[in-house]
């Protein structure tokens, strides 16, 4: 005689089957997202909120700095799991490159500072433009670039490293977005220094920089924070402020970034070294006309101030545009940064500029 299942038990079994199906679908989507993404792995399961919620997350090769906000993690060698590339930094928090060959002589050294475009965002150690430049010029090139920096942090870093390393040449890389970053007291969830303008002069603020906040996660975020899929969805929906448990990713102190940038050029001009300002561009300059115009406007403003301060300026726009018109954007960019080929082209432009008659 067949046994019948009670309605209550039947409903429980049905609900369990639906739940299992949903969990299996979620697991399949999670696995697919990890396979397709560069910065995820099927074998690593960090809590993405605590590892990547700020520029100082545990999964990012950076460390707190009381003057600059953050710098590359000293003596780090391993995989930058946020960008899935090999990353190496020395005791001075300088990104290393060409460590498979004898270093060029220390005299006549070139120091490069800047944001992630200088540091080599999303590329291996030997694929940044400072790495390429060292191989091209046979001169030692020191990579002092730091991802996420604004123009204010770039100049402060330049001042610190020039005083310490005394390079023959200083290269200051920047993109248009660095001007707006100089208006911020927080960037990528981490506190940073900034300059206010008082009586027409720069006044440094927020130093010492407040140290990073400890993550305070509720049960949901402690569990679901391990999902790369959810982290990806929150990024796409621009809900990271909410998802990262109330951490303020960005806070603006003022709207004087362009004035600050102009005054910063005078600080660079006061450094005891040959200084070249190197303007670079994000792929948006060739994908969106409004973005292109704004990048060009901001670069022209900063370059004009630099020239007024008697600084040397290299604007890479025309050469990169010729290459992009000929070959397309993809051969020179990876996501938001330049790839190995793009950095090689940039290094070639810089090498030519350094040897051209002044």
The predicted-structure confidence for 216-236, as pLDDT tens digits, reads as follows 778 888 888 889 888 888 888
pLDDT at 44 over 60: yes
Instruction: Say how many C-beta atoms besides its own lie within 10 A of residue 39's C-beta.
Output: 20
Question: Is 348 within the bounds of a domain?
Answer: yes
Q: What is the mean pLDDT of residues 150-159?
A: 98
- The β-bridge relationship of strands 337-338 and 333-334 is antiparallel
Radius of gyration of the chain (CA): 24
pLDDT of amino acid 246: 67
Number of separate domains in the chain: 2
In this structure, of 86-95, 219-228, 291-300, 304-313, the range with the lowest mean pLDDT score is 219-228
pLDDT tens string 26-43: 889 888 888 877 667 777
Residue 67 lies in a domain: yes
The DSSP annotation for 228-282 comes to HHHHHHHHHTT-HHHHTTT----EE--S-HHHHHHHHHHHHHTSSSEEEEEE---
**What does the pLDDT read at residue 1?**
47
Residues 16 and 93 both lie in one domain = no
Judge if 22 and 54 occupy the same domain: no
Look at residue 327 in the predicted model and tell me its pLDDT: 98
Decide if 220 is inside a domain: no
Q: Once rounded to an integer, what is the mean pLDDT over residues 127-142?
A: 98
- The answer to whether residue 234 sits within a structural domain is no
The pLDDT tens digits for 259-277 are 999 999 999 999 999 999 9
Strands lying side by side in the sheet with 169-174: 141-143, 110-113, 169-174, 274-279, 312-315
CATH code, domain with 188 = 3.40.50.1110
Is pLDDT above 80 for 347?
yes
Q: Which residue range is the domain that position 27 belongs to?
A: 1-36
- Is-contact 120 90, C-beta < 8 A? no
Are residue 121 and residue 192 in the same domain, yes or no?
yes
Question: What pLDDT does 247 receive?
Answer: 75
Q: Do both 17 and 58 map to the same domain? A: no
Q: Is residue 221 part of a domain?
A: no
User: Is 218 contained in some domain?
Assistant: no
- Return d(Cα 289, Cα 53) in angstroms, integer: 31
Distance CA 160, CA 150 (A): 16
Q: Is residue 203 part of a domain?
A: yes
Of the pLDDT bands very low, low, confident and very high (cuts 50, 70, 90), residue 81 is low
Average pLDDT score over the chain: 92
- Same domain? 145 vs 262: yes
Same domain, residue pair 10 and 107: no
Check whether residue 171 and residue 291 sit in a common domain: yes
Answer with the residue of higher pLDDT: 244 or 340: 340
Strand order, beta sheet including 190-191: 190-191, 184-187, 251-252
3-state secondary structure of 178: helix
31/62 same-domain check: no
If asked whether residues 127 and 204 sit together in one domain, one would say: yes
Q: Are residues 203 and 350 in the same domain?
A: yes
Q: Is residue 19 domain-shared with residue 71, that is, in the same domain?
A: no
Domain-located, residue 217: no
The pLDDT, as a whole number, for residue 60 is: 86
> Please, what is the end-to-end C-alpha distance for the chain in angstroms?
100
pTM for the structure as a whole? 0.88
- Same domain for 52 and 27: no
Model confidence band, residue 85 (pLDDT cutoffs 50, 70, 90): confident
């Amino acid at each position: 005689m067949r046994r019948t299942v009670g309605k209550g038990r039947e409903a429980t079994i049905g609900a369990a089957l639906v739940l299992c199906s949903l969990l299996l679908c979620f697991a399949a989507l999670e696995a697919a997202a990890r396979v397709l993404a560069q910065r995820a792995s099927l074998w690593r399961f960090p809590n993405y909120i605590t590892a990547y919620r700020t520029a100082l997350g545990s999964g990012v090769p950076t460390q707190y700095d009381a003057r600059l906000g953050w710098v590359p993690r000293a003596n780090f060698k391993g995989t930058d799991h946020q960008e899935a590339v090999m990353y190496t930094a020395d005791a001075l928090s300088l990104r290393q490159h060409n460590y498979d060959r004898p270093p060029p002589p220390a005299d006549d050294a070139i120091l490069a500072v800047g944001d992630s475009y200088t540091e080599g965002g999303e590329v291996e150690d030997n694929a940044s433009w400072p790495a390429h430049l060292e191989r091209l010029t046979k001169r030692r090139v020191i990579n002092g670039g730091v991802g996420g920096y604004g123009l204010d942090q770039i100049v402060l870093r330049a001042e610190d490293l020039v005083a310490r390393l005394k390079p023959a040449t200083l290269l200051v890389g920047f993109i248009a977005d660095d001007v707006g970053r100089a208006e911020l007291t927080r960037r990528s969830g981490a506190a940073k220094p900034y300059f206010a303008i008082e009586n027409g002069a720069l006044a440094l603020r927020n130093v010492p920089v407040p140290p990073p906040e400890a993550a305070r996660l509720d049960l949901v975020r402690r569990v679901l924070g391990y999902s790369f899929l959810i982290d990806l969805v929150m990024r796409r929906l621009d809900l990271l402020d909410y998802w990262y448990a109330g951490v303020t990713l960005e806070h603006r102190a003022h709207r004087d970034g362009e004035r600050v940038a102009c005054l910063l050029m005078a600080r660079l001009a006061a450094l005891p070294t040959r200084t070249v300002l190197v303007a670079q561009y994000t792929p948006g300059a060739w994908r969106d006309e409004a973005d292109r115009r704004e990048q060009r406007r901001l670069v022209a403003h900063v370059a004009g101030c630099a020239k007024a301060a008697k600084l040397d300026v290299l604007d890479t726009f025309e050469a990169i545009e010729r290459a992009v018109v000929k070959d397309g954007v993809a051969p020179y960019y990876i996501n938001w940064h330049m790839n190995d080929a793009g950095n090689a082209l940039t290094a070639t432009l810089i090498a030519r500029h350094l040897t051209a008659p002044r």
